[in-house]
Each structure stands twice: as C-alpha cells, then as structure tokens.
Amino acid sequence: MPASYIRLVRDDLSKLEVEHADRLRIFTSVAGSKEVPTHLAQNVMPYDERLESLSGFAGTRGDFPQRAMLHFVHALGGQHLPLEQARAKVLTALAPLSRREHPERVRMTDDQIQKVLLAQWDNHAGSSTRLLRYLRDEALVSCEQGRFTRLWQALAAEQRA
C-alpha cells in the first residue's frame, strides 16, 4: 500500500488485535511504514530502494508495494513463513544489494525540453523511446513520461506538417 492509502486505513489497522496481527504482512515504502500503527510496525516487510537493483523487480515508485509483494511471494516464498522468519528472509535477500544511484537531473520548462528534443530529433530519427532515453540519460533532464509523451507528440505533429 502506498503511504497515502495507509493513512486512509490507519484507523482500521489500529483496531486489529495483536493476537491476529501475526498473519498480516504489509508491503509499503519506507515513507508508508511511518504511517503504520506502532503495534503493527513489525508487520511491515523491510523492503527499500535496494529492490530496484534486482533484475525483474525495478519499476516506478507508484508500484513499489506491488513489486515488493511479488518478490516476497515468487522469489522468497515468504507467504508460507512465520512473521519473523519472513522479515529475516527479506533482509537476507536485500543485504548484498546496494541502492541504485539516481543521477541529478535538471528541471526545465516545456519549451526548453522541446528545444532539446528538436535539436536531437534527427540524431534519434524522431523515435520517442530513443529521445526519452537521451533526455533522461545523456541530457540529464527531469521529465515525467506522460509529460514527455505530450511534448513529443506536439513535436511529431509539427514535423509532419
């Protein structure tokens, strides 16, 4: 569950009796774990950004809890373990991993981004995939995928006209 959802169900979670809590596993981000009622803190599986280093389990922040649960079930078989053993198995799986480095990216206006894309248009044959990779990996520009798609589509329409 994302942190925002945990805040929504926090009151319900706080009503869960301790003797029933041993069957509960909570998958959330580090920020989300701070929203969990204190008596359920041990039920949060200790996943963090190191999950991004595992092939097949990288993704967006929004789907982090689902990816963590997928790893827990498919890679660790953790659903069959008692709570403490499940937590220990997650910690053991993450221990040799390091957090993936995220480069510092520059924020730009839509116009600035379009100018960068236009300057590289021919070099990347107008390919949205290649231009997005260039923008993020080489130009080190911060641009969310939906925003990029909108900007690229506008440029593509101009190029066809």
Buried b (16+ CB within 10 A) or exposed e, 37-51: beebebbbbebebbb
How far apart, in whole angstroms, are the C-alpha atoms of residue 34 and residue 3?
8
How many helices and strands in the chain, by DSSP H and E? 8, 2
Please answer whether residues 78 and 90 qualify as being in contact, where contact means their C-beta atoms are separated by less than 8 angstroms: yes
pTM above 0.85? no
99 inside domain? no
Domain match, 29 and 84 both = yes
- State mean pLDDT over 58-66: 84
Least confident of 24-38, 55-69, 114-128: 55-69
Instruction: Report which residue type is found at 42.
Output: Q
Residue 17 lies in a domain: yes
Residue 118: which domain range? 106-160
User: 78: burial class by Cβ within 10 Å (0-12, 13-18, 19+)?
Assistant: buried
Element (H, E) at 140: none
SS3 content of the chain, % helix, strand, coil (to 5): 65, 5, 35
Q: Are residues 87 and 8 part of one domain?
A: yes
Last residue of one domain, picked from the residues 72, 94, 116: 94
Distances (CA, A) of 134 to 30, 40, 58, 139, 158: 30, 44, 20, 6, 20
Q: Is residue 69 part of a domain?
A: yes
**What are the tens digits of pLDDT across the range 139-159?**
999 998 899 999 999 999 998
Q: Which residues pair with 142 in a beta bridge?
A: 107
- Quote the number of domains for the chain: 2
Confidence of residue 71 (pLDDT cuts 50, 70, 90): very high
Q: Per DSSP, which regions of the chain are E strands?
A: 106-107, 141-142
Please identify, among 62, 94, 126, the residue that sits at the C-terminal boundary of a domain.
94
